[in-house]
Amino acid sequence: MNKLHKLLLSALILTLLAAACSALPDSANELDGTKWELVFIRKSTPMEGSTITIEFENGEVRGRSGCNSYFGEYTVKGNEISFGMLAATEMACMDPEGVMQQEQEYLAFLSEVVTFSVEGEQLILKKEVQDQLTFKTTTND
């Protein structure tokens, strides 16, 4: 094989590698396929008797917000995360008292989140340095 053939073969291989990498879906990230349960909203624990969860799969997010289920899209770039418009079911829960206010706070918080980090078994979503949601990993359905 002469130099020209080797050069052309190398260029072809590099082109194929670049094309393969650019074909990866944007949703491929470390959150994809993970499930979490909220343990802290800012510095408080969720209300006793309410469960808040979040799941990430192929650019889609879903979970329970204390009373209702929610779903939508999310985007990750590096450690930055943003959530698209979230939709939710429309049940009204009276027990525990205040669960609907907690749910509204949680969903509003998600719309303002700008960064995330995974630290061991915890997912931290932040909108400001001291203002964050902290989740623990879960495998429960």
C-alpha–C-alpha distance, residues 58 and 93, integer Å: 30
C-alpha–C-alpha distance, residues 54 and 41, integer Å: 13
Cβ-contact 31, 127 below 8 angstroms: no
Percent of the chain, pLDDT > 90?
Answer: 66
Query: Would you give the distance in Å from CA 94 to the centre of its chain?
Result: 28
Over residues 83-128, the pLDDT tens digits come to 999 999 999 999 999 999 999 999 999 999 999 999 999 999 998 7
> Which domains does the chain show, CATH number per domain?
25-137 (2.40.128.270)
Using pLDDT thresholds of 50, 70 and 90, give the confidence band for residue 2.
Answer: low
Containing 122, the helix (H) or strand (E) segment is strand 122-128
pLDDT of residue 40 exceeding 80, the answer is yes
